[in-house]
Structures are given as structure tokens and as C-alpha cells.
A and B are shown apart, each in its own frame.
Chain A
Amino acid sequence: MLDTLINYLVNYPFVRYALIVGLLVSLCSSLLGVTLVLKRFSFIGDGLSHVAFGAMTISTVLPVIVKDILISFSQEGKLSASGDALVKHLTEMNDMVIVLPITLLSAILLLRTGQNTKIKGDAAVAMISVSALAVGYMLINVFSMSANVSGDVCSTLFGSLSILTLKKSDVWICLALSVVVITLFLLLYHKIFAVTFDENFSSATGINANAYNLIIAVITALIIVIAMNLVGSLLISALIIFPALSAMRVFQSFKGVIICSAVISVICAGTGIILSILFSTPVGATIVTADIVVFMIFCIISRFTRRQKA
């Protein structure tokens, strides 16, 4: 079995790409997961991932729509050379170009409505997330390019195969975004802690809590966009909350929880990807299953450690 694995790693670059991207994404998501869970923001991750799904479908069907429009406007009933080039360009364009700005914008909007009392935060999240799902599914059905619509939807939602079809440009984008996320997190670590623990006190001592909330939302959006390829948009929340929840069961300090959740997340992602390659199971689901198993183990551990204390 080990031979097969090494064989894959040496001979197939896409397996290496998948592993690199998987480990980076899991590391980033776990870092922020602790803050999101503690701030009661777990569902923002869920909502944003659905927005990212909607944005993904827009980017998929955009060439088709543009082509249709151009044809209907031209007199000869077919594409001009420049129109053809535009459509070709749109088809080859990396999805991130559209997905990233839309998700970022929604993150900021969601955070704003969180402070507004007219629509309560959880309702706003639910509203945006189902709207994005519905519109996305509608678009991909109406303007479908391939015969296998449900297959496309399924792989966007569950990330079933996409991680093994990563292009080199995907890996570079992911690497760059991960570096940004990790650097920001390390530099702002103490302030993120303070804002998470006590927003009122932080703003009273002159820390701009709203700005940090905004940064947290932006980083969350970044993570979700890079995680879409790995586990698909439905399972991203699992990647964000499970390592944090597991670590919080056992560790007593914020630093301990963060480090532990990063370790759990990276180990689960690595194991999940390797197992999915060896046993040809869906990547996203395998990683999340690994996270669930670890969570259960940590629950049992916490039973014992807590009992000793009492």
C-alpha cells in the first residue's frame, strides 16, 4: 500500500498538488475556526460557502451567457472574431477571479447586517446562503454547458474530484492566499484574541473592534474560497469548526487551543487525502469523517480529564 502511495506521489503531480493545497487549506481554516466558533460565527462560514457556490456557477455559465448575448446582437447570427476571443478568454479564466470578490463582498455585508438590528444576524446568513444556492443551481441548469449537470453541481458542492484536477495556477493562488492568511493571523493574534474574548473592553481601550471583525470576515472569505476546491462548499464548515471544537474540549488556554486545532486539522486533512487516494473515496467526505472521528476521541478524553479535576 505504501508503494502505491509513493508511486502516486512521485509520478503524478496532481497528487502532490492536492496534498499541498489540502494541508494549507486545513491549516488556515483551523486557525480562524477557533475565533469563529467562540464568536458564535460558525454559520457565517456556512453561509459564505454557499455564496461561493453561487459565484462559482456564475463563473461557469458566464461564457455561455456572453456567447448567447453576442449572437443575438450580431446580424449574421454568429460570433465575430473578437466576440469569439472574449468567450474563449472567459472560459479559460480562473474561477477565483469571480468567486473571490463576490465572497469577500458577501462577508462584509453579512458582518454589517450582524450589527444592524433590522435583520438579525442568523436570519441574514440563512437568507443569503439559501438565495445563493437557489440562484446558483438555477443558473447552472438553465445555461448548462455540459450534459452532466448534476455531476457538476455535485462536485462543486462536495468537491468530489476537483482537488485531483487542480491546475498549477490553482496551487499558486492557494499558496499565496494561505501565506496572506497565516501572516495576518500571526501578526494580529493578540488583537484577535482580545476582540474575540471581549469586544466591549477592546473598543473601550481603543482597539478598533469593528475593523478587526472586518478583517476576520475577510480572512474567513479567503479561506472559504481556497477551501472550495478541497472539500466543496457544503463541507467547508466542517473544516472550520471541527478542529476548533475538538481542541476546545481538552485545552485550557487560547494558544493551546489554536495550536492543537491546527495540528488536528492538518493531520486529518493529510490522512483524509491519502486514504481517499488509496481507497478511491471522495476527498472532502473522507477528510470530514477523519475530523469527526478525532472529535469523538477528544470528547472521550475530556470526559476523563474533567472527571479527574472534579
Chain B
Amino acid sequence: MVIDGETIVPKVPDTQVVCRNAVLGYEDGIVTRDLNFAVNSGDYLCILGENGSGKSTLVKTLLGLQKQLDGEIEWFKGMSSKDIGYLPQQTVVQRDFPASVREIVRSGCLGKMGLRPFYNAQEKQLAEDTMKQLGIDHLAKHCYRDLSGGQQQRVLLARALCATRKMLLLDEPVTGLDPKAQTDLYELIASLNKEGITIIMVSHDMAVVRYATHILHIGSQRQLFFGTKDDYLNSSIGKNFIASERGEFNA
């Protein structure tokens, strides 16, 4: 792929999505502008940025829940925003929700079902297999509200994997987890990435940079950096960010 001034031309045949000069925001204002990046199949893209920099707006736009104000987001290889497995931030409603793990994981299949009201055998099997893959099959009958934070995230991850195997979009997945559960979840996501699933991870946590192949850093109102992880670590923006994060750790 060539980053040529303002345009990004997809050269790699397995590019999944390209974002050109995108301006994001709502009717009453622009949140961020000049976003240029591309995601290839198998990439691990980490979207960094402080609170209010437009990360969640970017997530919503990628998911197709809102339109970009300007610029374009182009999908390739028959992909669309519906082919993203989404791991949203937890909501208040979910914390005391009476539902079994199996019910939640199966609900990932709903998007593909159209108007058919019930799951077929294939979809049920997919849910069972995914639970096994993520090591939560023994929890299938447990209630979601009784699980630990890390287990809950695995359940939501399994649900996202039932929706698609092409691309996962994770929105601050480790928020509120203890350090051990954070590392476990990062390792699990990295192993999924090794199987060929594209990962887009939104985070303000430096720890995730270690796993990423590409970094997109959004500052206030504009894009600060897009490129490979190594370039980022050598860039002044990357160095500053890491230094400030370390500073926070030491303080």
C-alpha cells in the first residue's frame, strides 16, 4: 500500500477497508477530520487516542451506524460494515441481565438470519464450537450476571465470532478488568489474530501496542499517525505518547 499525500491506494489484494479523507461527527459539529487509513486481512490495527478524540465516533461510522460527513469509506472483497464482529463496551443494562451464556452467544447469529424467527442446527452448532474455542463451554448454562468481568468479555467475544470470522472490532475491551484478566484477554485476541481474523482494537492502553501490527493515532480534531507499529515507535508522536503513558505509570 502506498500512502501518497492524501490518497491511499490499495495495492495489497486482500485489503478489507479503506478510509479516505473521512470527516466524522454529528449534525451539530465535526469530531475529527482527515482520517486516512487502510486495513488488510489479517492486520491487527490499534486505534489510539485520548477521550473525546473521536474513537467512538469512528467505531460507529465503521459499523455503519452513522454516516461520515465527508470523504469515503470503501469496503473490498464483498465485505461491508455488517461483516464486523463487534465487541461493544458494557452497558448498565447488561450487568444484571438474566440470560444464560448460551443464549447470548447464539444471539450473534441473528444478523444473518433475516426474517427467519428461530435458530437452525448449524447456527446452534456454531455457537457451541465458538464457546469451546474460547474456553467457556463449561459456563454455557451459567447466568451472565454471575460471571467475572473477564468471563463476560469472553462471552461477548464468542457472540461477535458467531456473527463473523472476518473482522473483529473491539471497543476498549479491557476496561474494568484486573491485570491478569487483561493479559489473558489480550493473549486470546492475539491468538485469534494469528488464525487470520482481522482485529481493530480501540484503546487508550499502551499495553496493546505490543500486539498490534498497525497503529492509528487520533488526536483532537485530526489524525496524528497511521502506519506500522515499528514506524510508530520510531516517530516523535509515538515516542511522546509512550513517554507520557510511562509518566502516568510512574506517577
Contact = CB atoms under 8 A, between A and B. Distances in A.
Given A38-B97, A254-B98, A255-B103, A203 B65 contact: yes
A143 interface: no
Given A188-B117, A253-B99, A198 B94 contact: yes
A187 interface: yes
Given A39-B93, A190-B117, A205-B163, A253 B98 contact: yes
B93 A252 contact: no
B110 A197 contact: no
B111 A205 contact: yes
A198 B163 CA distance: 14
Contacts of A248: 98
A193 B144 CA distance: 14
B118 A190 contact: yes
Interface string B125-156: 00000000000000001110010000000001
Nearest to A39: B93
Given A189-B117, A193-B99, A198-B91, A206 B107 contact: no
Given A253-B99, A255-B103, A257-B98, A38 B93 contact: yes
Contacts of A253: 98-100, 102-103, 141, 143
The size bracket of the interface on B is 35 or more
B88 A252 contact: no
A47 B214 CA distance: 51
B202 to A, nearest CB: 13
B104 A197 contact: yes
B194 interface: no
A207 interface: yes
Contacts of A191: 110
A172 interface: no
A193 to B, nearest CB: 6
B226 interface: no
Contacts of B98: 38, 248, 251-254, 256-257
A250 to B, nearest CB: 9
Contacts of A168: none
A85 to B, nearest CB: 46
A204 B117 contact: no
A193 B143 contact: no
Interface string B31-67: 0000000000000000000000000000000011100
A74 interface: no
A39 B96 CA distance: 11
A194 interface: yes
A197 B93 contact: yes
A200, A256, A309 — which one has the most chain B CB atoms within 10 A of its CB? A200
A146 to B, nearest CB: 46
The size bracket of the interface on A is 20 to 34
Contacts of A198: 88, 91, 94, 107
A16 interface: no
B108 interface: yes
Contacts of A256: 98
A186, A196, A206, A256 — which one has the most chain B CB atoms within 10 A of its CB? A206
B86 interface: yes
Given A187-B117, A203-B65, A206-B82, A197 B111 contact: no
A191 B118 CA distance: 9
Contacts of A39: 93
Contacts of A38: 93, 97-98
Contacts of A206: 82, 111
A298 to B, nearest CB: 13
A191 B110 CA distance: 7
Nearest to A251: B98
A289 B82 CA distance: 48
A252 B107 contact: no
Given A197-B93, A257-B98, A207 B86 contact: no
B82 to A, nearest CB: 4
A137 B24 CA distance: 50
B158 interface: no
Contact of A197 (B84, B107, B142, B146): B107
Contacts of B117: 186-190
Interface string A237-271: 00000000000100111111100000000000000
24 contacts: A40-B93, A187-B117, A188-B117, A190-B117, A190-B119, A193-B107, A197-B97, A197-B99, A198-B88, A198-B91, A198-B107, A200-B86, A201-B86, A201-B156, A201-B160, A202-B107, A203-B65, A204-B64, A204-B88, A205-B82, A251-B98, A252-B142, A255-B103, A256-B98
The 5 closest A-B pairs by CB, nearest first: A205-B111, A252-B143, A253-B100, A204-B86, A254-B99
